[in-house]
């Protein structure tokens, strides 16, 4: 169920804090740079993982089934290859970012195909630094997250060209909350997403908590539905979203400008744009010994946002699930994924495709 929170009431932070119990995830780190940790982790994986394609019975690999389309899609692509090419059994554990990262650290989860590093920087650095989690490198490099409004609100003159956060206080009435007409409404998704906590801090840093209520829709699907419902009626909408997604490929949305990201200031002041995103593949450290061939494959796994967007469009337009989109990807981008695996593995995967 969607939940409405009034940003002006300090109890909001306590309530959300009960959900986001691991505070190290909120605020995306303590200002340390990520280069050393990422490089060290990747180097460790490179030197430890020795590929093998033996036919003996393999174990089960557990994926973090994060609750958004691109992550679910990547899970099915990697799982299809690992199951049909390498002989592993596959399982999935669905959930939000925080509990699934805790599961990755604990070893209940083996593989997370999308770690948005800057969103959970401190927890990421702690886990990598402790040797509990190994970063295998970037999944896709060209992603975006931030605050968006429909472009037609600019085209019709409601909002100025180059709309920025400084314009939003004076224009809150455009986004009037139907349940509280004294404020506007700002939409976010799942309360367990780190970005939800970051967006709360952003609203306070910009002083927009005095003008807007935070509407926690509860999931990525309901967040998307709120945007689509407003867009189809030509109504106002203001909220958090990200790319690549099917939705952002279909709707004309404009990102709200923010002050540029400052790495030194970010830990204590979120009044700036999100940092450039790194969406990396991470595994529990035990996987290096238990499934070195899987690790070697995942180290080579890399896609681009345009590929993901095409797969998600295919999924939506053809009414197939994430596995159907993964199969389409493996058929459409054979020249890409066959570079990730040895020739004998690629042959097994191709034989398993419909």
pLDDT one-digit tens code per residue, 217-247: 998 889 999 999 999 999 999 999 988 777 8
pLDDT of residue 23: 32
pLDDT of residue 246: 78
| Closest of 63, 58, 82 to residue 297, by C-alpha | 82
Do 42 and 135 contact (CB within 8 A), yes or no?
Answer: yes
Q: Which residue has the tokens 């926690």?
A: 216
Q: Which residue has the tokens 């959930």?
A: 95
Q: Rounded to an integer, what distance in angstroms lies between the CA atom of residue 32 and that of residue 121? A: 9
**Other beta carbons less than 10 A from residue 55's beta carbon:** 7
Residue 115 pLDDT > 90: yes
In the chain the beta strands, taken as DSSP E runs, fall at: 3-6, 60-66, 89-95, 111-116, 133-140, 144-150, 176-177, 180-188, 212-216, 239-243, 253-255, 279-284
Do 296 and 156 contact (CB within 8 A), yes or no?
Answer: no
Of 188 and 3, which is predicted with more confidence? 188
Distances (CA, A) of 238 to 216, 312, 325: 13, 23, 30
pLDDT one-digit tens code per residue, 145-166: 999 999 999 999 999 999 999 9
pLDDT of residue 44: 38
Helix/strand/coil for 305: helix
> Which residue(s) pair with 91 in the sheet?
62
Kindly tell me the number of DSSP H helices and DSSP E strands found in the chain.
15, 12
pLDDT one-digit tens code per residue, 6-52: 333 222 222 333 333 233 333 232 223 333 333 333 333 443 444 44
φ, ψ at 304 (rounded to 5°)? -130, 155
Task: Tell the burial category of 11 from Cβ atoms under 10 Å away from its Cβ (0-12, 13-18, 19+).
Answer: exposed
Show the tokens assigned to 222. 């309901």
Do 89 and 61 contact (CB within 8 A), yes or no?
Answer: yes
pLDDT of residue 276: 80
pLDDT one-digit tens code per residue, 249-300: 789 999 999 999 998 999 899 999 998 878 999 999 999 999 999 999 999 9
DSSP state of 164: B
| Closest of 144, 142, 150 to residue 254, by C-alpha | 150
CA 220 to chain centre: 10
Residue 181 pLDDT > 50: yes
SS3 string, 125-157, reads HHHHHCCCEEEEEEEECCCEEEEEEECHHHHCC
């Amino acid at each position: 169920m969607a939940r409405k929170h009034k940003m002006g009431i300090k109890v909001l932070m306590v309530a959300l804090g009960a959900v986001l119990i691991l505070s190290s995830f909120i605020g995306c780190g303590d200002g340390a740079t990520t280069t050393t940790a990422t490089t060290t982790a990747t180097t460790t994986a490179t030197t430890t993982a020795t590929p093998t394609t033996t036919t003996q019975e393999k174990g089960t690999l557990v994926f973090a089934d994060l609750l958004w389309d691109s992550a679910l899609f990547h899970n099915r692509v990697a799982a299809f290859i690992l199951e049909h090419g390498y002989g592993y059994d596959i399982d999935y554990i669905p959930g939000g970012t925080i509990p699934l990262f805790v599961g990755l650290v604990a070893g209940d989860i083996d593989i997370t195909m999308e770690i948005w590093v800057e969103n959970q920087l401190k927890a990421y650095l702690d886990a990598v630094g402790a040797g509990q989690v190994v970063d295998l490198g970037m999944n896709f490099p060209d992603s975006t997250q931030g605050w968006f409004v429909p472009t037609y609100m600019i085209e019709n003159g409601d909002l100025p060209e180059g709309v920025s956060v400084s314009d939003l206080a004076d224009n809150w009435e455009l986004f009037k909350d139907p349940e509280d007409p004294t404020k506007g409404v700002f939409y976010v998704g799942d309360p367990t997403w780190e970005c939800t906590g970051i967006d709360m801090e952003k609203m306070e840093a910009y002083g927009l908590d005095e003008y807007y209520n935070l509407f926690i829709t509860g999931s990525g699907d309901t967040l998307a539905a709120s945007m689509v419902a407003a867009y189809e009626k030509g109504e106002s909408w203001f909220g958090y979203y990200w790319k690549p997604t099917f939705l952002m490929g279909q709707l004309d949305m404009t990102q709200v400008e923010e002050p540029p990201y400052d790495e030194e200031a970010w830990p204590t002041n979120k009044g700036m744009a999100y940092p450039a995103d790194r969406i990396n593949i991470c595994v529990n450290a035990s996987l290096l010994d238990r499934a070195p061939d899987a690790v070697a494959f995942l180290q080579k796994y890399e896609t681009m946002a345009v590929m993901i967007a095409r797969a998600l469009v295919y999924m939506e337009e053809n009414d197939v699930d994430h596995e159907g989109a993964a199969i389409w990807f493996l058929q459409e981008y054979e020249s890409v994924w066959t570079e990730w695996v040895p020739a004998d593995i690629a042959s097994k995967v191709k034989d398993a495709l419909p």
